[in-house]
Amino acid sequence: MNTTERYYDVAIIGTGIGGSTLASILARQGLSVIVFEGATHPRFTIGESMILETSEAMRALAEFYDVPELAYFSSENYYNLIGTSHGVKRHFSFLHHSPGESQNTRKSLQAVIPKLPYGHELHIHRQDSDYLLTSIAISYGAEVLQGTPVRDINIKSNGVEIQTDSQVYRAEYIVDAGGMKSLLAEKCGLRHRNLQAHTRALYTHMVNVPCFNDVGPGRAQYGHPFRVSEGTLHHIFKGGWLWVIPFNNHSRATNPLCSVGLQLDPRIYPLNADFTPEQEFYAFIDQFPDIRKQFKQARPVRAWMRTERLQYSSHHVVGDRFALLAHAMGFIDPLYSKGMYVTHMSVMIVADLILKAKQTGDYSASAFAPLEQITLRYMGMHDRLVANSFKSWHHHELWSVYAILWLLGAYLEYLKLTVTRLSARDRTDYLAQLAGLKLAGGGFAPFFELQEKVDTLIEQVNIEDKADVDRIVLKIRNLYAAYPWMPSAFRDLLDGKTFLPNNKLRVNLLNSSDGFLGEGVYRQHFFADTTLSKLIPKALYEQFRYGVFNLNWRKHA
């Protein structure tokens, strides 16, 4: 077997969003990068629903590493640069169902995503996005070998050897972004499944999936700001949920597909091997009249996929001269679309550490410890959030209070990410300010105290005892009432409202004590010495910078 004469700075396994993004950054920064991809693009994959935190991480990567293309999938404003095969996401919607009953419009939640200042989020058609990002990596100088699976990896004290079917390649460092089947995780015995969440999946892409508002209650009956097809729809029920992610949900759409996936707790709904995945899907949804109507005319465009338990993690994320990136390290569940956020923040950190190692020559596990620390924190919080969400779905009143914890955590995380990018002196300062993140809550200690209390109550409740459920719901409501930094829009949800406002700009945001900036430790943590007079001009500039007019002008400049 031949050994290449060239010695690379970094080898990467996998050209999904994480691998191709990292390759683009490192190549742009002048490192020699080789990327191995066992398949060829374009290829099918899921992980299609964007969230505010992911989009903000994309903007930070684009700015701090000088790769503007990394922001292309951060909002609908980029359609002229990425094409219209991607859907729009104006909200998260949750509809709670009970077997044999029509969906009760009061058991709904539409979490509207703000349009300002960046535009609404996207449903990313991964076949196109991953191909484009891989092409961008190549344009910056990365060498990408498609159709080239890695067969073995030999980590030595002075470098790494990567063996394919025909050749051996050498590099200073290797990042495994190969997903669940991570060669390094298996080779180093890092895998474990000691996690709280417990789900399996059935999924595919379909056509002829109507908007739920056309087969069930209409938008006016719900009183929601948007039709549910204009965002990511979650049908939730005891022991599971079903995602509906359309790509054909805006006026410029050119893609007729809709991503559909069913997540089930196998301890409640064991896999039935006598059914095909498609048969099992339809047999399951048959118990919910309105869901059944939504898929009556739907047709899959590819074979249904079915998995056993999804959850896995790793004892370690880094070792001497290697790191596991995102889903190579672990995976919890598609719920809340946190996976791509974890991926992009992991890329932010590992890219910085690799560039430092290039200067110092230190590729040890201890030099890359910050990646392991934050990744394991993210994984732990996501695991608990998913497990307790599934438990709360047994009773809508329990879910209605637990949903507030998810919303509050996501809002604070996004706030911290955005304000930090706007205020940080440079990448080092940015990463230092975000060192305390845990996936949700923006590193704010009082939130973590609240989250610990709420999660503990959910874990303690006896869901078979309605009186105990009512007692826990009251306790959680009292915790929220005592939390001084709860946004008024979330308090409205606790009072019975079923959606967040479309217009986020309200007069009370200007209040000195309970307005947008807050007061006390909250203001110090999220804004430090920033004032509204400093923040408003920055927000207006951001709206211009990432607006359609400026993006189109820069495209043709």
Could you read off the pLDDT of 181-208 as tens digits, one per residue?
999 999 999 999 999 999 999 999 999 9
Q: CA nearest 361: which of 147, 157, 515, 103?
A: 157
Structure tokens that stand for 518 in this block: 């807050």
Given a cut of 70, is residue 504 above it in pLDDT? no
Percent of the chain with pLDDT over 90: 92
Q: Which amino acid is at 13?
A: I
Across the range 94-122, mean pLDDT stands at 97
Contact between 115 and 546 under an 8 Å Cβ cutoff? The reply is no
Question: Which pLDDT tens digit goes with each residue over 443-485?
Answer: 999 999 999 999 999 999 999 999 999 999 999 999 999 999 9
* Amino acid code (one letter) for 60: A
Give the number of other Cβ atoms within 10 Å of residue 367's Cβ.
17
Of 64-78, 414-428, 485-499, 534-548, the one with minimum mean pLDDT is: 534-548
Query: Would the pLDDT of 506 be above 80?
Result: no
| Interatomic CA distance for residues 42 and 135, integer angstroms | 11
Q: Angle between the 369-392 and 396-423 helix axes, to the nearest 10 degrees? A: 150
pLDDT for res 530: 86
Q: Which three-class secondary structure string do you get for 255-295?
A: CCCEEEEEEECCCCCCCCCCCCHHHHHHHHHCCCHHHHHHC
Residue 175, token pair as written in the block: 């990042």
The answer, yes or no, to whether residue 524 has pLDDT greater than 70, is yes
- Helix axes 466-482 and 445-460, enclosed angle (nearest 10): 170
Q: Dig out the tokens for 30 from the structure.
A: 């002048």
Three-class HEC string of 314-328: ECCCEECCEEECHHH
The DSSP H or E segment spanning 345 is helix 339-360
Instruction: Supply the pLDDT for residue 236.
Output: 98
Instruction: List, for residues 66-102, the tens digit of each pLDDT value.
Output: 999 999 999 999 999 999 999 999 999 999 999 999 9
- DSSP label at residue 547: S
Digit-coded pLDDT (tens) for 383-392:
999 999 999 9
Bridge partner residues of 123 (DSSP): 49, 87
CB 152 within 8 A of CB 79: no
- Beta-bridged to residue 161, according to DSSP, are 154, 170
Asked if 18 and 326 touch (Cβ cutoff 8 Å), the reply is: yes
Given this model, what pLDDT does residue 514 score?
A: 60
| 3-state SS, residue 400 | helix
pLDDT of residue 194: 97
CA–CA distance from 156 to each of 11, 160, 315, 433 (Å)? 14, 6, 21, 35
With bands split at pLDDT 50, 70 and 90, how would you rate the model's confidence at 512? low
Rounded to whole angstroms, how far apart are CA atoms 38 and 486? 47
The β-bridge relationship of strands 200-207 and 299-300 is antiparallel
Distances (CA, A) of 120 to 271, 429, 537: 37, 28, 21
Q: Residue 218: count other Cβ atoms within 10 Å of its Cβ.
A: 14
**Closest C-alpha among 231, 235, 253 to residue 50:** 231
DSSP string, 449-483: HHHHHHHHHHHH--TT-HHHHHHHHHHHHHHHHH-
Residue 492 has pLDDT above 70, yes or no: yes
Percent of the chain exceeding pLDDT 70 equals: 97
